[in-house]
Amino acid sequence: DAKTTQPPSMDCAEGRAANLPCNHSTISGNEYVYWYRQIHSQGPQYIIHGLKNNETNEMASLIITEDRKSSTLILPHATLRDTAVYYCIVNRDLKTSYDKVIFGPGTSLSVIP
């Protein structure tokens, strides 16, 4: 079973920041928070991941609470192309663990013109 909970859907106005929350209260000390998104009829796309520090890349920012029980993915300036299902996943380091990745239902983000 997925170890995260996310709201099923969210709307965001184009050009505004999209803040997608994720709860992972049972996360273990060696588990990372990974975010992927899936645009309709495509394979999932990696966005960002982190362990405990906040992370930023060209796509998004990841804010992880100090107790690591929740996190927020931030798309700073949402565009229509960001409309997708966003999946928050907790897993050991995928670089070394070869763990199977279980997907929850995710959050369906609709960016509105």
Q: Is the dihedral of CA 68, 70, 74, 79 positive or negative?
A: positive
Alpha-carbon radius of gyration of the chain? 13
Residues 84-103 that bind other proteins (CB under 8 A): 85, 87, 93-96, 98, 100-103
Output the smallest distance, CB 94 to other proteins, in A: 5
DSSP string computed for 19-31: EEEEE-TT--TTE
Task: Report the C-alpha gap between 73 and 6 in whole angstroms.
Answer: 11
Looking up tokens 């909970």 gives 5
> Residue 34 or residue 78: which is nearer to other proteins going by CB?
34
Is 36:86 a contact under the CB 8 Å cutoff? yes
CB of 83 to other proteins, least distance (A): 15
Q: Residues 1 to 60: which contact other proteins by CB under 8 A? A: 34, 36, 38, 41-46, 49
> 14 or 51: whose CB is closer to other proteins?
51
Under DSSP, is residue 57 helix (H, G, I), strand (E, B) or coil? coil
Q: In angstroms, what is the minimal distance from the CB of 111 to other proteins?
A: 19
Binding site for other proteins (CB under 8 A): 34, 36, 38, 41-46, 49, 85, 87, 93-96, 98, 100-106
